[in-house]
């Protein structure tokens, strides 16, 4: 047809047509995002902005800072209690909490953590707070450095803390830390949980926490090795994402000399509790 040759020739210079692209082994054109990965340096950052001809350098610097902060440089905050529950068990009922708060950006954050437990109508058995600097070292992992202070049990202790938080493959939340006290005691903790979504609002959360000690610390009832473990299974209903009551079961056990210290105080080495609580964040 008239003009066919001219049209065909014009297409030779178009991306993805004729000699302008080479087919890959699968037949796909090797252009755009289908190109092979390379090591060439990126193009230079543009420095010629039309607005520079209108506004002062100070005004443009302020505008660029605002642009950077609103597209990845913001600071955020969150307060969350993963556990806030009543524990119903044989003998004296108790309560337990485990929460944290943080403020910062994607890389650097200030983190506060707290957890503890006690007996309803009785004494507070354990309570601690941690103040940590958290820095992201990967897309899913933070390292944390700071201090921990134990209000209970007596005598109180101050610890230097180094730990991590990570989202492991399979979406398991895992935390670990080492604590060195002002008395030279070395403790460790490893905990993790997994949110198994049954429906859009019903979530089953298995959870485990293990505590270790490098030596016996009889004045606070801790023995060397694996000292205590908590295994739990909690089913929550998210009325809102930020507010979810739950019910579950928790099994706590002491091991080795820790169990011996507990028996000497008239306590059992193991207990099973029905738990009722609320998971909340804001």
40 has a pLDDT exceeding 90: no
23 has a pLDDT exceeding 90: no
Across residues 67-82, what is the average pLDDT? 86
**DSSP code at position 278:** E
Q: What is the pLDDT of residues 164-192, one digit of tens each?
A: 999 999 999 999 999 999 999 999 999 99
Q: Following DSSP, what letter does each residue of 111-178 receive, concatenated?
A: EEEEEEEEETTS-EEEEEEEEEEEEESSSSEEEEEEEEEEEESSSPEEEEEEEEEEEETTTEEEEEEE
Partners of 236 in beta bridges: 203, 246
> Which is nearest to 64 in space by CA: 76, 53, 52?
52
Q: What is the pLDDT of residues 82-139, one digit of tens each?
A: 999 999 988 789 999 999 999 999 899 999 999 999 999 888 999 999 999 999 999 9
pLDDT at 281: 97
Which residue ranges make up each domain of the chain?
76-281
Where residue 24 falls among pLDDT bands split at 50, 70, 90?
Answer: low
Residues of 23-40 as b/e, b for ≥16 C-beta within 10 angstroms? eeeeeeeeeeeeeeeeee
Hey, what CATH class is 76-281 in? mainly beta
Distance, CA of 123 to CA of 153 (rounded, Å): 10
> Which is nearest to 189 in space by CA: 168, 162, 153, 151?
162
Neighbours of 133 (CB within 10 A): 14
DSSP H helical ranges for 41-84: 57-70
């Amino acid at each position: 047809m008239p003009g066919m040759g001219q049209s065909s020739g014009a297409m030779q210079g178009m991306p993805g047509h004729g000699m302008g692209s080479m087919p890959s082994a699968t037949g796909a054109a090797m252009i755009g995002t289908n190109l092979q990965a390379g090591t060439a340096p990126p193009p230079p950052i543009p420095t010629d902005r039309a607005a520079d001809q209108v506004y002062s350098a100070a005004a443009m610097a302020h505008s660029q800072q605002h642009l950077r902060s609103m597209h990845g440089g913001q600071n955020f905050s969150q307060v969350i209690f993963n556990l806030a529950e009543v524990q119903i068990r044989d003998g004296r009922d108790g309560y337990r909490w485990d929460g944290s708060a943080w403020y910062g950006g994607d890389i650097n954050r200030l983190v506060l953590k707290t957890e503890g437990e006690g007996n309803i109508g009785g004494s507070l058995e354990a309570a601690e707070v941690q103040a940590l600097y958290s820095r992201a070292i990967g897309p899913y992992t933070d390292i944390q450095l700071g201090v921990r202070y134990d209000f209970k049990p007596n005598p109180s202790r101050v610890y230097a803390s180094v730990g991590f938080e990570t989202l492991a493959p399979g979406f398991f939340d895992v935390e670990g830390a080492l604590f060195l006290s002002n008395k030279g005691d070395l403790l460790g903790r490893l905990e993790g949980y997994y949110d198994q979504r049954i429906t859009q609002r019903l979530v089953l959360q298995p959870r485990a926490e293990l505590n270790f000690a490098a030596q016996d610390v009889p004045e606070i009832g801790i023995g060397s090795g694996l000292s205590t473990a908590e295994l739990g299974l909690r089913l929550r209903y998210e009325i809102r994402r930020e507010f979810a009551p739950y019910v579950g079961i928790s099994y706590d056990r002491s091991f080795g000399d820790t169990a011996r210290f507990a028996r000497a105080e008239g306590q059992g080495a193991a207990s099973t509790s029905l738990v009722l609580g609320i998971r909340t964040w804001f």
